[in-house]
């Protein structure tokens, strides 16, 4: 209905804790299946901002204002028509005790809400811790697998080197080939005749 900027602007303009119950009533009418209604009902004043922010998705700013004024007028009319208790001090005491009881219930509800929120946070931390432990276990397993693979590769390489060395030992030695030497040229034969040819 509104953009983020518009909602933020209207939220600041309409923000009023005293109107939280009126806004909650309007939100129930506009969106009876809203997922946060149960939370809002526990303590409307505490969640006044959240109620108003959710309501701005379903009702306009003017509709919210009109609804607030109508409820306020109804409450004023009830006060006007209600009988005065000036002559009955006992009734005043009962009213005061009646006012104190809801206040005590409200503080108990607030404490219960805070306890529930703390429990949720604790559960979330536990879940995160468990996830971290699981990731650590997975990383440890992967490390062990890589180590095993590395050791397997080293073993395979050693076996291959050993097999290659054995094959070299089994190969027959080739006989050494003698280089052919060219015959030396013979010197010319000397004449056996010793006679002097000169006279």
Give pLDDT, residue 26. Answer: 87
Full residue range of the structural domain in which residue 80 is found: 1-84
Give pLDDT, residue 61. Answer: 86
Give pLDDT, residue 3. Answer: 82
In-domain check, residue 55: yes
Give pLDDT, residue 73. Answer: 86
Which two tokens mark 43? 């303590």
Domains held by the chain: number? 1
Q: In terms of Cα–Cα distance, which of 15, 7, 1 is closest to 68?
A: 15
In-domain check, residue 47: yes
In-domain check, residue 195: no
Measure the CA dihedral 6/8/14/16, to 10°: 170
In-domain check, residue 16: yes
Give pLDDT, residue 90. Answer: 56
In-domain check, residue 175: no
182 three-class SS? coil
In-domain check, residue 3: yes
Q: Please state whether the predicted TM-score (pTM) of the whole model is above 0.85.
A: no
In-domain check, residue 9: yes
Instruction: Report the first-to-last Cα separation within the chain, whole angstroms.
Output: 153
In-domain check, residue 12: yes
Give pLDDT, residue 120. Answer: 73
pLDDT mean values, one per 10 residues, the chain (199 residues): 80 85 88 88 89 88 89 81 55 55 66 73 77 82 88 89 83 61 59 53
Give pLDDT, residue 179. Answer: 57
Which two tokens mark 53? 């922010």
Give pLDDT, residue 187. Answer: 58
């Amino acid at each position: 209905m509104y953009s983020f900027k518009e909602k933020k602007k209207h939220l600041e303009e309409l923000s009023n804790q005293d109107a939280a119950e009126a806004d909650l009533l309007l939100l129930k009418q506009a969106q009876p299946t809203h997922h946060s209604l149960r939370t809002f009902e526990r303590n409307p004043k505490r969640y006044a901002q959240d109620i108003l922010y959710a309501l701005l998705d379903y009702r306009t700013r003017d509709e919210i204002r009109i609804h607030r004024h109508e409820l306020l007028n109804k409450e004023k009319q009830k006060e006007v028509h209600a009988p005065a208790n000036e002559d009955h001090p006992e009734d005043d005491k009962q009213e005061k005790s009646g006012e104190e009881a809801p206040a005590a219930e409200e503080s108990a509800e607030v404490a219960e809400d805070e306890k529930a929120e703390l429990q949720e946070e604790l559960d979330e931390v536990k879940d995160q811790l468990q996830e971290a432990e699981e990731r650590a276990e997975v990383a440890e397993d992967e490390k062990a697998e890589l180590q095993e693979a590395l050791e397997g590769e080293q073993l395979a390489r050693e076996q291959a080197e050993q097999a290659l060395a054995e094959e070299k030992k089994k190969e027959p030695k080739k006989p050494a080939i003698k280089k052919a030497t060219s015959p030396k040229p013979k010197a010319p034969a000397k004449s056996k005749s010793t006679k002097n040819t000169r006279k």
